[in-house]
Structure 1
Amino acid sequence: MYDERLAAATKPFNARGAKVIRCKQCQIAEQYCICEHQPAGRSDFAVLLLVSDAEILKPSNTGRLILDTVEEGYAFPWHRTEPNKELLALLNDKTYQPVVIFPEDYVDDKARLIQPQQFQPPGGKKLLFIFLDGSWREARRMFRKSPYLDGYPVCSIKPETLSSYMMRKSEHEDHLATAEVASIVFEQFGAAYTSKVLAQWFSVFRESYMLSKTRFSSDLSRPALNNFIGLIKNANSV
């Protein structure tokens, strides 16, 4: 998706920090690349990312971190008028139960709202969590302008802490990065290990990303990365 969007660009894409030589995969400065530490996904659910056009090329995007930590994941660029045919086929696959992740305050039909602890997919279907990956303004537009999502249940989360996302500033301090939202969702649906792996992988990404920013004081000992390595080693030894 990244390569396709880059090929379609009519002018060079210059994100903040464009002078940094980045790893193509993790989008972190090459000397701090984290690819060798990417976790092996363990999950009995699937994830679908709908990614806004503005988000696809941003190196600070955290949605792709979710796909690093789950066994089955999909990502599609969001189009208002012409949704991807493969996307629609996935949503219509009877083996999945799609659940849209979005704040309840913006859901007009409250009957769509579900509680994670009480929700059981019918017929043993696999949960397919749908995350709208974009700025808060973009995500609201995606939710309103995607009629193919209208019939699916919606899960809303209420974070207890403010976002620890530092790479970009949101207009609202309590808005979370997409990876932070997913970590909370996974925990609420009983996937504690995947939630913890994603939360720590997000911390590794944030820590490593910030190392190339000279205006921030960074810890070159990389404690978040070391904690993550310890988590994975402990899990593999069990």
Structure 2
Amino acid sequence: MSANPSVGRVRCPVCARPQAQCLCSLIPRLWPPTQVLVIQHPDEASHALNTARLLVPGLVNAHLLVTENLQEHPAWIRRLQDPQWRNELLFPGERAQVLAPAPADVRPRRLVLLDGTWRKARKLVYLNPVLQTMAQVCLPDGLVSRYRLRKVPQPGALSTIEAGAEALAVLHPGFDKHALLAPFEALIEGQIRAMGQARYLQNYGAGPDRAGE
């Protein structure tokens, strides 16, 4: 046994996985025209299976903002209110329009994703008026999550990295969503192998209510 109990728990600063299970070799460096901003609830930052930490490094023009209150980040509020950008919030709701390319709009596009449980994601919207005033979009129906370690709370619910990959594929036909999802697939497969198929089937027939991981 190591004299240092912290040895073996050192995590990669990029993907946040234990060093022995680092997924960075699978993370691409893609540059879609649309900028992505992931607003992560602080409670999600240390979640073992969080996928925002796999999504953002895979996109050159993506940003991860860990906060519950955007008032602490006035520069981002200004960016999200900038009329020279097409800013959209990817979040289902009554006023959400199905995501689609905007060939007639010459403005640069920014897509905002919320990373957290559904309850926390709704709280992020409630606490931040700038999110309430943004154009709201949703993914097309019929998408199925591959996050097999969680039972989705409703049809079409996806992990954060899946939502980002599917959204960019809709906006930019030909976008390589499979390259973006490669570390996520490896993460899930590795977790299932580690626990064994029998335990996986026993323990993950149900899961918590999560909007993104």
- Fold-level match, TM-score > 0.5? yes
Q: Determine if contact 1:116/1:188 at 8 Å carries over to the other structure.
A: yes
Q: Determine if contact 1:42/1:194 at 8 Å carries over to the other structure.
A: no
| Residue matched to 2:107 | 125
Of 154, 159, 165 in structure 2, the residue corresponding to residue 177 of structure 1 is 159
Q: Determine if contact 2:89/2:112 at 8 Å carries over to the other structure.
A: yes
Q: Taking structure 1 as reference, are residues 27 and 166 closer, same or farther at Cα in structure 2, changes over 3 Å only?
A: farther
Q: Taking structure 1 as reference, are residues 81 and 37 closer, same or farther at Cα in structure 2, changes over 3 Å only?
A: closer
TM-score in terms of structure 1 length:
0.68
Of 139, 142, 147 in structure 1, the residue corresponding to residue 124 of structure 2 is 142
**Deviation string, structure 1 residues 181-228 (Cα, Å, up to 9, x no partner):** 1121112112432423223332123234x16x742349xxxxxxxxxx
5+ long unaligned stretches in structure 2 = 1-7, 199-213
Please say if 1:103 is aligned against 2:92: yes
SS in 2 for 1:192: coil
Of 105, 113, 116 in structure 1, the residue corresponding to residue 99 of structure 2 is 116
TM-score in terms of structure 2 length:
0.75
- Name the CA distance, whole Å, in 1 between partners of 2:46 and 2:114: 16
SS in 1 for 2:195: coil
| Residue matched to 1:51 | 40
Q: Taking structure 1 as reference, are residues 80 and 28 closer, same or farther at Cα in structure 2, changes over 3 Å only?
A: closer
Number of positions where the alignment pairs a residue of Structure 1 with one of Structure 2: 191
Of 133, 149, 153 in structure 2, the residue corresponding to residue 151 of structure 1 is 133
| Residue matched to 1:30 | 19
SS in 2 for 1:98: strand
Q: Determine if contact 2:145/2:152 at 8 Å carries over to the other structure.
A: no
State the identity as a percent. 19
Structure 1: which amino acid aligns with 2:48?
P
| Residue matched to 2:210 | none
Deviation at 1:171, TM superposition (A): 4.3
Please say if 1:216 is aligned against 2:196: yes
Q: Taking structure 1 as reference, are residues 57 and 141 closer, same or farther at Cα in structure 2, changes over 3 Å only?
A: same
Structure of higher RCO (CA pairs closer than 8 Å, 6+ residues apart): 2
5+ long unaligned stretches in structure 1 = 1-18, 219-238
Of 78, 83, 88 in structure 1, the residue corresponding to residue 67 of structure 2 is 78
Of 141-150 and 47-56, more deviation after overlay is shown by: 141-150
